[in-house]
């Protein structure tokens, strides 16, 4: 069956990589097909894929070329083919920085983002926000606020992430949409929770007291999303540098050492050992966790642990000594980065006995 498939493919493509010998000019010429009515979804999707592939390979398009391709692409909005539409969104995003007058698709995208199909809406929001400039922002604001509190996680996440990107267009976007983000924070979806926290932090990061309030509130409920939890740990860690009273914050980070996600546990351990002020007592539990990770079957986890220990060994060599045996095991690790880190760490903890071995 596989050989049969191959043969057929090779007949179609002339063998090898169908995208290998694409010529920019030829492909752009082909893009004129987009102007034909009715639209042939399969053919157009294939041509659009070729354009996207060329851009991805690093091919440079001039402003005129890009603008022409962009305008041809806008004709594809006539088709209702799902894949083609999604590729058009992708094309809009890729060409938005190269072509001129890209705001021409604003109304088409606004229509899609308020339409019925969730799959369109999320992607349309993201495409729309890449072409939005400060003058257009007011026009889409109402839709964005609605999208943030949408019941579909995809739509809500798309709107939240887009508002983070829009900060570069207008710095107070996040603040203006903070109420909606606050509501999205209660969402059950792990990604929405994470993105909402990102927007809220963006909105308040200039105001230390607002951040303290936000962190304090979340510490009590402890977010379910591991990504949000990692972010909260980072926020708490940063606050510790700025405030004098940090018992609660440290307590929270320590409690994260018992989180069920390894990602969060590592983030917490990493934060604890890097705290400038902490003494051997505070980093003790974190070191034990890292020691445990040294024996993990996952290379990424061993790497993360030994890299962190390597850094701690500079400031608290005595605390790391407890891990010497585990580190010695890692000297022969199949991952050379891990082995190297283990050796340098051992050199810093300075136990002569292990150096001899």
Site of interaction with another protein (CB under 8 A): 1, 9, 17-19, 41, 45-46, 48-49, 52-53, 56-58, 60, 81-83, 86-87, 90, 93, 119, 122-123, 126, 154, 157-158, 161-162, 164-165, 190-191, 194-195, 198, 227, 230, 262-263, 266-267, 270, 298-301, 303-304, 307, 334-337
Q: Least distance (Å) from another protein to the CB of residue 356? A: 28
Q: Least distance (Å) from another protein to the CB of residue 52? A: 6
Q: Least distance (Å) from another protein to the CB of residue 244? A: 25
Helix, strand, or coil (residue 23): coil
Which of 321/335 has CB closer to another protein?
335
Q: Say if CB 156 and CB 175 are below 8 A apart.
A: no
Q: Say if CB 272 and CB 305 are below 8 A apart.
A: no
Q: How many whole angstroms separate alpha carbon 313 and alpha carbon 289?
A: 15
Which of 9/32 has CB closer to another protein?
9
Q: Is residue 40 classed exposed, middle or buried when 0-12, 13-18 and 19+ CB atoms within 10 A define those classes? A: middle
Q: Least distance (Å) from another protein to the CB of residue 127? A: 10
Q: Least distance (Å) from another protein to the CB of residue 254? A: 18
- CB neighbourhood size of 178 (10 A): 20
Which of 22/239 has CB closer to another protein?
22
Token pair listed for 215: 């962190």
Which of 28/87 has CB closer to another protein?
87
Q: Least distance (Å) from another protein to the CB of residue 197? A: 12
Q: Least distance (Å) from another protein to the CB of residue 93? A: 8
Which of 243/300 has CB closer to another protein?
300
Which of 26/57 has CB closer to another protein?
57
Q: Least distance (Å) from another protein to the CB of residue 288? A: 18
Which of 244/297 has CB closer to another protein?
297
Rg (CA), the chain: 26
Token pair listed for 1: 């069956």
Give me the residue label for tokens 């034990």. 288
Give me the residue label for tokens 């790497």. 303
Q: Least distance (Å) from another protein to the CB of residue 355? A: 24
Q: How many whole angstroms separate alpha carbon 264 and alpha carbon 231?
A: 9
CA 138 to chain centre: 27
Which of 102/161 has CB closer to another protein?
161
Q: How many angstroms separate the Cα of 22 from the Cα of each of 41, 44, 51, 76?
A: 20, 16, 9, 22
Which of 162/278 has CB closer to another protein?
162
CA 297 to chain centre: 26
* DSSP state letters, 141-157: HHHHHHHHT-SSHHHHH
Token pair listed for 240: 């510790």
- Neighbouring residues of 201: CB distance < 8 A, sequence distance ≥ 6: 211, 214, 231, 235
C-beta pairs of 352-357 under 8 Å, 24+ apart in sequence: 354/324, 354/328, 357/328
């Amino acid at each position: 069956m596989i050989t049969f498939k191959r043969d057929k493919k090779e007949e179609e493509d002339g063998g090898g990589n169908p995208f290998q010998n694409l010529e920019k000019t030829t492909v752009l010429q082909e893009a004129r097909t987009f102007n034909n009515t009715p639209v042939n979804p399969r053919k157009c999707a294939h041509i659009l894929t070729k354009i996207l592939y060329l851009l991805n390979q690093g091919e440079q398009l001039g402003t005129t070329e890009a603008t022409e391709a962009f305008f041809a692409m806008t004709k594809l909005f006539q088709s209702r083919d799902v894949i083609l539409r999604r590729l058009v969104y992708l094309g809009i995003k890729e060409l938005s920085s190269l072509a001129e007058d890209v705001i021409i698709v604003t109304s088409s995208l606004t229509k899609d983002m308020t339409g019925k199909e969730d799959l369109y809406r999320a992607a349309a929001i993201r495409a729309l926000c890449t072409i939005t400039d400060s003058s257009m922002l007011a026009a889409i604001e109402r839709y964005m606020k609605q999208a943030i509190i949408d019941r579909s996680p995809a739509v809500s996440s798309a709107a939240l992430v887009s508002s983070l990107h829009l900060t570069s267009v207008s710095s107070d976007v996040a603040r203006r949409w903070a109420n909606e983000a606050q509501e999205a924070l209660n969402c059950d979806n792990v990604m929405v929770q994470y993105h909402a926290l990102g927007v809220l932090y963006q909105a308040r990061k200039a105001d230390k007291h607002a951040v303290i309030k936000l962190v304090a509130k979340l510490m009590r409920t402890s977010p379910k999303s591991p990504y949000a939890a990692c972010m909260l740990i980072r926020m708490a860690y940063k606050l510790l540098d700025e405030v004098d009273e940090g018992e609660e914050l440290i307590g929270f980070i320590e409690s994260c050492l018992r989180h069920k996600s390894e990602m969060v546990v590592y983030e917490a351990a990493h934060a604890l050992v890097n705290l400038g002020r902490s003494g051997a007592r505070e980093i003790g539990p974190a070191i034990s966790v890292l020691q445990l990770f040294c024996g993990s079957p996952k290379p990424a986890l061993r790497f993360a642990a030994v890299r962190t220990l390597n850094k701690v060994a500079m400031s608290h060599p005595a605390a790391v000594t407890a891990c010497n045996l585990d580190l010695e095991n890692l000297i022969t690790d199949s991952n050379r980065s891990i082995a190297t880190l283990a050796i340098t760490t051992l050199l810093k903890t300075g136990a002569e006995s292990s150096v001899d071995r």
